[in-house]
Amino acid sequence: MQTIQVEKSGQIQVNKGKNPRELYAHQKEAIKALAQKNKSPFEGLLVLPTGGGKTLTAVHWLLRNFIDKRKKVLWIAHRHELLNQAFETLKFSAYPSLLSDTERFRYRVISGDTNNHDRPVNIQPTDDIIIASKDSLNSGLNYLTDNWVNHSNEILLVVDEAHHATAKTYRKLIDSIKQNFKDRGKADGFRMLGLTATPFRTDKSEQGLVKKVFPDDIIFSEHLRTLITRGILAEPVFENLETELDFYKELTDRDIRSIEDFDKLPKKVAEKIAMSSIRNKRIVDHYVENREKYKPLLVFAVDIQHAIALNGLFKKRGIKSDFVASKIIDEGTGSTICVKENSEKIKRFRAGKLEVLINVEMLTEGTDLPNVQTVFLTRPTTSTLLMTQMIGRALRGQKAGGTEKAYVVSFIDNWEDKINWVNPEKLTDIDGAEFVDRDIETMKRIARLISIEKIEEFARMMDDSIDTTALEKLDFLRRVPVGIYRFSILESSESAEPVSRNAEPVSRNYDVLLYNGTEEAYDSFVNDLDAVFKSVNIQNREVLTDEELEYLLQLTKNLYFPDYPFLLGYRDDDVKNILRFYAQKEMEPEFIAFSERRKCDLSIVARHIYENDLTLRQVTEYLTSLWNDSKSFWQVLFGYNYLYFKKQVDIEINKLLGVYPDLTVTPTIVIPDTVPLESLSLVEIRERDPAEYRDIKDAVFAKYTDGKGFIVCASSGFKSQMRRDFQIDHIIPMSEGGLTRLENLQVLSPKAHAEKTRLENLKR
């Protein structure tokens, strides 16, 4: 039978001589910390900045402490490039200094790319280390378990880019291996190490889940600034080049919202940028003029068309250039092409055979490119995380074979006043998380999201030809969201597409705004997600089919949003995104209350003007002072358009003047600080502090939930797992002196509540 040698699996022979790769001080410190932790089972994180050598550190440690001691290692990641990088590091680290008792060991690399990697069905008990994509292992979990885990007394599980381990497929794989060891009475034989540069840059809710996946938290970490000081990473030099092109004029308010939510340019604008001969010529000219200073260059392009256009211009100028992309579709055949060439192009760039490498939604996470001197950010982004990852590609310092300084050149278009693009001037702006007041930043972001939502509404009110009377009659504060759900979904690089086997996944952020009229319904829906999903059988899949998604959407609308056409701010896409998120993570999205909401009540501003009978000059001075107050949210909320702000104040004043005679103006609830919270109704608490209201509500439902997850009616004993089947009620009514305390709150079914109300009315 004819055979052929491939690097999908085989043996690695221990090299003779001395390991030429000496670790840095921080890597040696990390290995000491890991060795200390390894005295007992652990599940923790190694955190090093981009370029800090996470892969090399982990490989050195596991070779000496596991492979050399005949213990098994499973290394998992979500991208093929990460698998290849781990394998290459493993090959070039096999020296006697780490493997004193081993002459050779067996490896296997597994992924959906069967042209270059192996399949789970071929796993053998003799494999010492398996490097695999988590999706491939999940699809062949029985082979991993039966052919390998069951034959192992000790396993180290390494999770590369561990901040992604919150996804359901990661957790399924991890839990399966852990449970296997427990079932065999060998729980002490399981250890897990997560590698990441960004443990705190996921959403707050997912940070909590990261801690659940890695309960031992951070075992060792080093700050990026320390590595720059030591010369291991280069000092970034930020340069901005104004393009003087006004692409923002092409953006609608809906486009702006899409950019803020998804960090993705609308197709029409992306195409205009990609094909802008003026902009592209400036990018290439700027490089050519500074060629000796900038090369080798890594360019982050907007999309495939942009990469192709730039590549053509670079080549016309005699520069050896090429491009890589996570996914390229041949429009004629619909087939994926050129994906296999990416690795070869990256190798050529590393070897100096390419001077410029242009990439689209790749090379931001985990890829080692030690020769990069400069990055061009021709693709605008609102993501601090993405900006950090892009900049990190150029930070190889002198001690690591790089340079003292690295250049980060951002090509700025004239749209900063419309969109909050990330354009750092110094490294601490993007990496110094500990110096940022996250609460203020969060409130500013929420206010900005609300502004994007409201700009179209404000513009309609400015247009005298459009009748907006009905909208104007609404209490202004009711048109301001009480908070948002924030979450991210791992998707293919094509927007809103599920992760495919060959596509490089990216994490996209989503925000869902909640208003007074939708908050209760959303809260019940989100808390009932587990029960809602029991109506479909997605098993271990993370992606819903179109049919499943549509079915769940209609079910959700029927159960929780029956009057959706009349609900302010309701969108089918918001519900769909929450459903997609739950399918992937099996967790509730994080709710962030807009705790500064009451500071955005224009009725208070109008009442001050009205009751104090201010003159025109005094009104102007008063409104100007509010508008320019740096601690206020007015400018952000109104999109930095003073006329929108002034128009809304006039509307609120007109209400007080009786311009809308059929409108009963509801006075704003003013609650003195001396009033105890427990003396307020739940409605008042929600108006004052949405976050506190939710905490109280969660505590009440938890109190009346049994061990099997069923909520139990305090009166009738009726049981259900869905919050929508109950409502919270005071045991002793507030009219009789009852307080909003946990011990005085209960859950009742609608039928039981109606009966309780009937009996109370009879007593009166």
Burial class (CB in 10 A: 0-12, 13-18, 19+), 683: exposed
Question: What values do phi and psi take at 507, rounded to 5?
Answer: -95, 125
Q: Dump pLDDT digits (tens) for 351-392.
A: 888 999 988 866 544 455 667 788 888 877 755 556 666 776
Residue 745: its H or E element: strand 745-748
Q: Which residue has the higher pLDDT, 639 or 502?
A: 639
Whether this prediction's pTM lies above 0.75 is answered by no
pLDDT tier, 588 (very low <50, low <70, confident <90, very high otherwise): confident
- pLDDT at position 203 over 70: no
Q: Determine the pLDDT at residue 525.
A: 94
Q: Determine the pLDDT at residue 714.
A: 93
Helix 516-527 vs helix 690-703: crossing angle, to nearest 10? 40
Contact between 236 and 393 under an 8 Å Cβ cutoff? The reply is no
Torsion of CA 108, 114, 120, 121, to 10 degrees: -110
Q: What angle do CA 574, 635, 627 make, to 5 degrees?
A: 150
Q: Dump pLDDT digits (tens) for 541-555.
A: 888 898 999 999 999
Q: Dump pLDDT digits (tens) for 658-694.
A: 765 444 444 433 334 455 778 888 887 877 777 788 8
Token pair listed for 466: 């459009």
Q: Determine the pLDDT at residue 666.
A: 42
Q: Dump pLDDT digits (tens) for 443-456.
A: 656 666 666 566 55
Q: Which residue has the higher pLDDT, 505 or 546?
A: 546
Q: Which residue has the higher pLDDT, 697 or 509?
A: 697
List, as own/partner pairs, every contact residues 171-177 make where C-beta atoms lie below 8 angstroms and the sequence separation is at least 24, other chains included.
171/213, 171/586, 172/138, 172/141, 172/540, 173/76, 173/134, 173/137, 173/138, 173/141, 174/213, 176/141, 176/145, 177/74, 177/149
Q: Determine the pLDDT at residue 655.
A: 80
Contact between 325 and 403 under an 8 Å Cβ cutoff? The reply is no
Residue 580 CA to residue 595 CA, distance in Å, equals 27
pLDDT tier, 607 (very low <50, low <70, confident <90, very high otherwise): confident
- pLDDT at position 193 over 90: yes
pLDDT tier, 52 (very low <50, low <70, confident <90, very high otherwise): confident
Q: Dump pLDDT digits (tens) for 263-321.
A: 566 677 777 777 888 888 989 999 999 998 888 898 888 888 888 889 999 999 999 99
Q: How much of the chain, in percent, has pLDDT values that exceed 90?
A: 27
Q: Determine the pLDDT at residue 414.
A: 62
Q: Dump pLDDT digits (tens) for 87-120.
A: 988 988 999 999 999 999 999 999 887 777 888 9
Find the mean pLDDT for residues 483-509.
64
Q: Determine the pLDDT at residue 249.
A: 66
- pLDDT at position 336 over 60: no
Q: For residue 486, list its beta bridge partners.
A: 511, 590
Q: Determine the pLDDT at residue 764.
A: 61
pLDDT tier, 434 (very low <50, low <70, confident <90, very high otherwise): very low
Q: Determine the pLDDT at residue 383.
A: 59
Average predicted confidence (pLDDT) for the chain? 79
pLDDT tier, 650 (very low <50, low <70, confident <90, very high otherwise): confident
Residue 137 CA to residue 7 CA, distance in Å, equals 18
Q: How many CB atoms lie within 10 A of CB 204?
A: 12
Token pair listed for 652: 């609120």
Residue 353 CA to residue 69 CA, distance in Å, equals 41
- pLDDT at position 43 over 70: yes
Token pair listed for 93: 């680290």
Q: Dump pLDDT digits (tens) for 693-711.
A: 888 999 999 999 998 889 9
Q: Determine the pLDDT at residue 736.
A: 80
pLDDT tier, 192 (very low <50, low <70, confident <90, very high otherwise): very high
Q: Determine the pLDDT at residue 367.
A: 55
pLDDT tier, 537 (very low <50, low <70, confident <90, very high otherwise): confident
Q: Determine the pLDDT at residue 186.
A: 92
pLDDT tier, 334 (very low <50, low <70, confident <90, very high otherwise): very low
Beta strand pairing status for 374-377 and 321-325? unpaired
Q: Which residue has the higher pLDDT, 715 or 395?
A: 715
Sign of the dihedral defined by the CA atoms of residues 380, 381, 386, 387, in that order: positive
Q: Determine the pLDDT at residue 30.
A: 94
Q: Which residue has the higher pLDDT, 361 or 190?
A: 190
Question: What values do phi and psi take at 750, rounded to 5?
Answer: -55, -40
Q: Determine the pLDDT at residue 49.
A: 81
Q: What single-letter DSSP state applies at residue 705?
A: B
Q: Which residue has the higher pLDDT, 188 or 431?
A: 188
Helical H segments across 317-400, by residue range: 341-350, 384-392
Find the mean pLDDT for residues 380-409.
68
Find the mean pLDDT for residues 162-169.
84
List, as own/partner pairs, every contact residues 624-627 make where C-beta atoms lie below 8 angstroms and the sequence separation is at least 24, other chains included.
none
pLDDT tier, 333 (very low <50, low <70, confident <90, very high otherwise): very low
Q: Determine the pLDDT at residue 317.
A: 92
- pLDDT at position 502 over 50: no
Q: Determine the pLDDT at residue 673.
A: 41
Q: For residue 325, list its beta bridge partners.
A: 360
